[in-house]
Amino acid sequence: MCDTAFVHNDQLFDRIADALVEVGYIVLPQALPVSLVDQLVARLHALDDEDFKRAGIGRQDDFQIDTSVRRDRIRWLQQEHAAEVAFLKWMDELRLALNRRLFMGLMDYECHFASYGIGAFYKKHLDAFKRPAPLLQAPLQISPLQAQPSRVLSTVLYLNPDWQTGDGGELRLYDEADALVLETIAPEYGKLVIFLSEKFPHEVLVAKRERHSIAGWFRVSGPM
């Protein structure tokens, strides 16, 4: 369906790799084929409300729902719909391209549709705990938590036609020291943001209008 578009991605992937090395993030007003973004939006709107669950924080053992931290509703993407398959394929191309260029060792990618209703937000957070530097990693016991794959690269694709300045819902990226605002990014149609998960605290400002996106994470496997 979108195969021909993938042929021209080498330069785009070069740009993304360079940005990750130089600044650790990139904001691309349009990266995926518009036809694919259109199909993802159609897919999102065809889903029932019941398909979406209130998003939580933490994982598995310490998973909890805390509406003072985040108020979005999510649904994980699956391989069962053409638009979802095409999106996952595009992200897999990116995964392989980054592994080739940067030896990142990205193993897989997980992602979900996210819907923020009016008044929803996501307070400042990091998408991953900082991993210890390899030399400091104790070759002792690995707890089950450490053995899990960890998120190293975050992506967000926005699915909102005609987003206006007053609509809020911006993604705000802070620097690693959490001292400066680096970017305040409007969630505009087709925009793709990619950033190192362990480096950039970020938040989603209150949405004044329903706000849709696909948030995803490339992961590396846990220590062996």
Neighbours of 194 (CB within 10 A): 22
Measured in residues, the chain has a length of 224
- Kindly tell me which residue out of 204, 207, 212, 219 binds ligand OGA, with binding defined by CB under 6 A: 204
DSSP codes, 132-145: PPGGG--SSPPPHH
Does residue 127 interact with Mn ion by CB under 5 A?
yes
Question: Which helix (H) or strand (E) is 15 found in, with range?
Answer: helix 10-22
What x/- string results for residues 111 through 150 when contact with ligand OGA is judged by CB under 6 A?
---x-------x----x-----------------------
Considering the complex, state which of residue 91 and residue 171 has its C-beta at the smaller distance from ligand OGA.
171
What x/- string results for residues 147 through 166 when contact with ligand OGA is judged by CB under 6 A?
---------x----------
Two tokens, residue 60? 């598995």
Q: What angle do CA 32, 37, 38 make, to 5 degrees?
A: 145
What x/- string results for residues 74 through 113 when contact with ligand OGA is judged by CB under 6 A?
----------------------------------------
Q: Which of 155, 165, 152 is nearest to 205 (CA)?
A: 165
Residues of this chain that bind Mn ion (CB under 5 A): 127
